[in-house]
Structure 1
Amino acid sequence: MVELSISIKRVLWYMWIVFLPLGLWYSYVSYPPSFSSLWEPVSLIILAILISVIPYQIRESKIFIIRWVSLAAFLTYGLFFELLLMQIAVLFLLFRSKMTLENIYRYPLNSIMFMISSFIAGLTFYGIGIVQEESSLISLTLASFLYMFLQVLVNDVFLYIFNHFKGNRYSFINQDSKLDYLAMLLSLPYGVSLYFLQSAIGFASTLFIGLPFIALTIILRLYNHSESLKEDLVRAGEIGHQLTSQLKVDEVLDLFIDKLSDLMQVDYAYILDVSTNENELVLIKRVENGKRMDNTLRSIQRNEGISGKVWHSGQAAFLNKKRSWGDAVKEYIPSDVESVLSVPIQRNQRTVAVLMVASKRKNAYKPHILPIVDLLCSHLAVAIQNARNYQTAIIKSEHCALTGLYNYRRFDELLHDKFDELMNGSVRQLSLILLDIDHFKNINDTYGHQSGNDILQDIARILSNVIGNEGVVARYGGEEFVILLDNISKNQTIELAEQIRRKIEDCVFKTLNDLSEVRQEIQVRITVSMGISTAPEDTDSALTLLRNADRALYVGAKRAGRNRVAQYMK
């Protein structure tokens, strides 16, 4: 969306200063009003003001059902009075819509728009030759329909052109325009009735029709709010089930923010997790303008900024004015933010994380949204914990508890996955190294099994450090380890295996002698033997690749004297 420049906003004000007085003067001269009583026009103006400040809202769309009052004003007193009434109503419409200094240009824009629509509709009405006092109810109603229809149509065309000029592209026929036409049809009988009744009983007609209409609007607003809240609570429950069905924390967080954005205005969203030692909030999810961003913003201390205060107090914060932000952490408050909502995410009555969302709109968040967000945050806390528990269980089931490496079951799955990639051409080569610690039984028998475990852990660390992200390291069983490498030739694999062998041979392992009378630290030197097999040179089967490496290990390395690397030979 393109922001209007200062010069364009000035042009709007210049146009308003010129055209509004001219429009009022022309309409007054051409269609001067005739007032038999001051109370009647004043009552219409008061009614228009009251309706302007009591909009009926359907989701994000606000409907000001005021055109029936302007119709009655037009039929009774003519174009000038209708223009004057709508100009007054525009002030209160924009006041109710929270107009600010940044968007005060909306006043001249809407003022000119309503003046143009009134002129086109009014002159068309006069042009078809309708005389109210001499017309039948049907002809007057049809002419009134045309009058109101043109007003809505001209307004929609005006707004469509202006928004396209700003870069805000949307369909000409949309939800807001449909609601405008529906409101016009429903309010048409009120306008015609008010005109006839005012002709008969004067300003008292405003009380007979206007006050019940306002009361009905208030009742419908309350009912709509109650129904919307009920629907949102039901949706929140459904979203909760969707959250708890996710098995990864990142998927839970993405789904939560997506669904939250469907319920409310969210331009920026941050989820901060209470750290393990509970001394700071750590950013775990960051979405800005609909885009997932890196979690690079700094951590927040307890009672620091908006989120820190929410964490400390356990109470939600609604902030719709910049001056109420206080010492907010600037990294979490972009410059175009106008409204902020921060809510504690609690589990078992303890805050485990904090949600902070922000909007570019003023007064975007109201207290009635809190039960919805609070319920969603409760579901989020459970979903995150479930996902973390699931991931922990997965890690435990896939890793060796002693060394932290993949266990054989998980390695077998990865091996077959890699072989599928080899078969479909995603991977050119696969190399497998099978490693066995020489004379490992002597270590267990001499120093105890715990000392053997210490050696296994040290070997696992060496292998992980050497291989890094270049391959997969797993504990094959007992004192055996296996390494899977892709897109590495057999010669490169042999060189890597030799590097590992020398590193282990040169290493001094420290452990405790659990079998001596005095349990003391000892230094142990060990060697390893390795067998290597490569696909597709040696085999086209995952199982055979492993068997070939095993054969190379025991025939080519162990039988040949140990402490060496052997490759599979056909």
Structure 2
Amino acid sequence: MIQSKDRVYIYAVIAIACYYLSGIYHHLGSYTQFAIIPLFLLGILVEIIQIPIGSAYGTLTVGVVLGTMILFGPYVAAPLVACAVLFQAVLNNKILKKNQKGMLTAYFNAAQYALCVFAAYGVFTWLGGRDIPVTQLLTSVRLLILIPVAATYMIMNHMFIYTLIYLRNDQLLASNFRELFLSDAMNYLISTPFAVFMLVFNNYLPFIFLTFLPLLLFGQVMKLYQKISRLNEVHQVNAQLQSEFDLDKIYNSIVEAAGRLTNCAAGVLWVLRGDRIYPVCSSDESVAAQLPQEGMSLEQTGIVVNCVKNKRVERVDDVWKDRRVKSIKGKAHFESVLVVPLLSRDKVVGVITCYGTRPYVFTAEQTEWVTVLATQVGVIIENANLYQELQEATLRDPGTGLYNYRYFYQELKRRMQMAKEQKRALSIVIIDIDHFKKYNDTYGHVVGDEVLRQTGQVIQKTVGNRGVVARYGGEEFAVILDEPLEEAKLSVEHLRRAVAHNKFEYQGYVVQGVTISVGLATYPDHDQDEKELLEKADQAMYWGAKQRGRNKVAVYTPDFDAHLFVDQLTGLYTYHYLHMKMMDEYTSVSKESGSQFGLIFFNVIEFDNINRTFGFEIGNHVLREISVLIKQSVRHGEIASRYGGDEFLLLVPSVDRVEADRIRERIVKAITQHPFRVRDNVIVRVMMRSDIMIYPDEVAEEPQLISMIPETFLHLSSEWTEKETERVDTSS
């Protein structure tokens, strides 16, 4: 509803215009001239047909009105412009849909344009233009009289419009006034020369209508050209993004394209994830700061949510008059909103919102262009999402859902580089579940796997967005924290307590008292290289926490270096040393020379029986003797290490699978045929399981090589073999 003060103003303008136009009765003689009909037709045509002027649209109406005013006076020019405006309003379907309010606004526009003609003619008369013959007016100096006349017409038009805006309490910024004034001035600057054209050919006015037809056709051609250019731009964006899978680049390209198509003050791209829609990209940082980063539920109300639910374009020409955008933050800065759904296979994947700084800024053509863009890029976003999901799956550990070692190492390298560039700290944490094997022995591997998974969840939940959590291998986890040493110590201590206090439940089983041993190393306090830092965090976990009672947090110190290379029980190399040599030396040589190396795995069958029967001291004695047998079988250049417990790992350079199998059989034979004396009259035999892995023939990537080592030992364990045997028996 139009407010009462607005209505009074509108009716007053219409009444004043009618009063002035009543003088037509005394100028009916002007309408007997043959040229009047073509002029009225011309006025209607130029008002209907808009011509692109930069990013806006203009008409030649001003030129026709001014020319008619000078030649025939205001009582012909004023009705001409009024008829043109009203005829254009009747043809405009959007105004017809607005019924009374829309037509009343059209009557107001016709009336105020008519009054602008009388005001301009007053200035024209005051400057003596009425007393000057047209032929003399066309001289260069006298023709300058058109400048103040056209300016008066434009200023009066703006005064009428701004008064109505003020009475309606419409919020319009100073920049809006400036933008409107400048675009209108450009239109007047282009249109006024057509008034001069009419004056030059005033003796041939019946034919001016025919002369203007090519110009009007040119305007239509320009509109068609602009439409084709815009649609071609849309197709170019679509073609460029077809092979792009980086979502951030896709989002930015879409927002930039929407901005070019609509000349909007700001654009925002929203993406639908589940039952919430999130803003993912904005062309204006101040707008981005006002958006709900937590997204919006589809249960909420609002124009963006409505667009998703209805799968249709929503255009608000004046946000102060539309309840759908009542809740938009900062809406005082934006007067128009265009909301277009991104569709893919008739499913909404996102929304583009364009904001304008003044009312009625978005045209039907602009809406069409953005709609075409949205239809095409919706499929691109869905395909990119699918690609990202597939990529994400290759970087996730299937057992825990955490990132795998491959992703962890890539991210560690990237973050270390950023830490050095930005001169800030970076901490690495290695976590190992204490006595994890007992959970498998007590509850079975299914429950043990669930303990592993839920421990990973606790770690991820505790770390949150402050770092990256990955499964490091076996029952170990690794964490990257963008925190200095003291803050990281507090964080990992909180993490240790969170795991210790957690109750693990699965299919009726309740497991409590799960603890972890944690090692911590920080850049730049402990090292400058990410590989070395990772090793030192591992040392801190093993020697500082695991070997000193477990359920502890240990920070790296140089004292741990003494334990890095040699296993204290067996005298073999530690796995840390083998890992370092393998990653820093053997893989590099393999890449450069094309050579390969082998890893031979050994696991003692049911070694726990020896510990239970004879005690841990005897068990350690047996392990030392096994180590001696392995040392005696090792040749120059081969590295024998104790992986952990009853597991041993041998690295053999420049070997194929056939040769590696011979070495494996030789070592297994030496151990299984050796008599292990556990008491004076008691001798036991030790049985072994073993496996072989050849790099790079069988494992092409370094991260995959590291992750497969604990998996191979798991497959060699007695529990795993028993489980597989039971599964085969059950299936058969």
TM-score w.r.t. length of structure 2? 0.56
Structure 1 residues 532-551: aligned runs within 5 Å: 532-551=520-539
Report the equivalent of 2:452.
456
Shift of 1:160: 8.4
**Aligned residue among 232, 235, 238 for 1:234:** 232
CA distance in 2, matches of 1:481, 1:66: 75
**1 CA distance for matches of 2:414 and 2:308?**
47
Contact residue 69 and residue 117 of structure 2 kept, 8 A? no
Q: Tell me the distance in 2 between the aligned counterparts of 1:318 and 1:126.
A: 46
CA distance in 1, matches of 2:413, 2:334: 51
Which residue number in structure 2 is paired with residue 196 of structure 1? 203
Per the TM alignment, residue 53 of structure 1 is displaced from its structure 2 partner at its CA by: 3.8
State the SS of the aligned residue for 1:409: helix
* 2:48 alignment partner in structure 1: 54
| Structure-1 separation of matches of 2:283 and 2:536 | 53
How many residues align? The count is 525
Partner of 2:476: 480
- Report what 2:400 is aligned to: 403
In 2, the alpha carbon distance for the partners of 1:47 and 1:473 equals: 75
Equivalent position amino acid for 1:85 in 2: V
Conserved? CA contact 1:501–1:528, under 8 Å: yes
Q: Deviations over 1:350-389 (max 9, x none)?
A: 55556677876459543x6665344212222123113323
The amino acid of 2:196's aligned partner reads: L
Does the 8 A contact of 1:430 with 1:484 survive in 2? Answer: yes
Question: 1:171 and 1:230, CA in 2 relative to 1: closer, same or farther beyond 3 A?
Answer: closer
State the AA in 1 paired with 2:40.
I
Equivalent in the alignment of 2:462: 466
Q: Structure 2 CA distance, aligned partners of 1:66 and 1:169?
A: 20
Identify the residue that residue 150 of structure 2 maps to in structure 1: 152
Asked whether the equivalents of residues 344 and 375 of structure 2 are also in contact (C-alpha less than 8 Å), the reply is yes
Q: Specify the SS of the correspondent of 2:48.
A: coil
Code of the aligned partner of 2:369: I
Identify the range of structure 1 (388-397 vs 152-161) with the bigger mean alpha-carbon deviation: 152-161
2:516 corresponding residue in structure 1? 528
Matches of 2:367 and 2:62 in 1, distance apart? 31
Q: AA paired with 1:120? A: V
Residue number in structure 1 paired with 2:379: 382
Q: CA deviation at 1:84?
A: 1.8
Q: SS of the counterpart of 1:74?
A: helix
Does the 8 Å CA contact 1:398/1:409 hold for their aligned counterparts? Answer: yes
Cα offset, 1:456, TM superposition: 1.6
The 1:553–1:56 alpha-carbon spacing in structure 2 relative to 1, beyond 3 Å, is closer
Q: Tell me which residue corresponds to 2:77.
A: 86
**What is the identity, as a one-letter code, of the residue corresponding to 1:228?**
Q
Gaps of 5+ in 1: 76-80, 198-204, 513-519
| Distance in 2 between residues matched to 1:272 and 1:192, nearest whole Å | 56
Distance 1:281 1:464 in 2: 23
**Contact 2:47–2:59 (CA under 8 A) maintained in structure 1:** no
| 8 A Cα contact 2:112 2:160, kept in partner | no
The Cα offsets for residues 518-556 of structure 1, whole Å up to 9 and x where unpaired, read as xx9575765433333344443344333222222223333
Relative distance call for 1:48 and 1:272 in structure 2 (3 A) is same
The Cα of 1:457 is off from its aligned counterpart by: 0.6
Is 1:224 the counterpart of 2:249? The answer is: no
1:307–1:342 Cα contact (<8 Å) kept? no
Amino acid at match of 1:437: I
One-letter code aligned to 2:406:
R
Paired position in structure 1 for 2:192: 184
* CA distance in structure 2 between the partners assigned to 1:73 and 1:436 by the alignment: 91
User: What is the rounded CA distance, in whole Å, between the counterparts of 1:471 and 1:352 in structure 2?
Assistant: 29
- Residue equivalent to 1:202: none
- Identical positions, percent: 21
* Counterparts of 1:422 and 1:356, CA distance in 2: 36
RMSD (CA atoms): 5.4
Q: Distance in 2 between matches of 1:252 and 1:344?
A: 16
Q: Does the 8 A contact of 2:66 with 2:195 survive in 1?
A: no
CA contact (8 A) 1:12 1:109 kept: no
Name 1:209's counterpart in structure 2. 208
State the match for 1:262 in structure 2: 260
Structure 2 CA distance for aligned equivalents of residues 294 and 392 of structure 1: 25
Residue 556 of structure 1 corresponds to which residue in structure 2? 544
Kindly provide the amino acid, as one letter, of the partner of residue 121 in structure 2: S
Residue by residue, what CA displacement relative to the aligned partner does 1:424-464 show, whole Å, maximum 9, x if unpaired?
5653x444332222343555567655444222212112222
Residue 186 to residue 90, structure 1, CA distance change in 2 (3 Å): closer
Amino acid at match of 2:208: I
Q: Is the 8 A contact 2:67 2:198 kept in 1?
A: no
Contact 1:44 1:69 in 2 (8 A): no
Q: Matched residues in 1 for 2:48 and 2:503: separation?
A: 82
Larger radius of gyration: 2
User: Which range moved further: 82-91 or 446-455?
Assistant: 446-455
Higher RCO (CA 8 Å, separation ≥ 6 residues):
1
**SS of residue matched to 2:292:** coil
Equivalent residue, structure 1, for 2:728: none
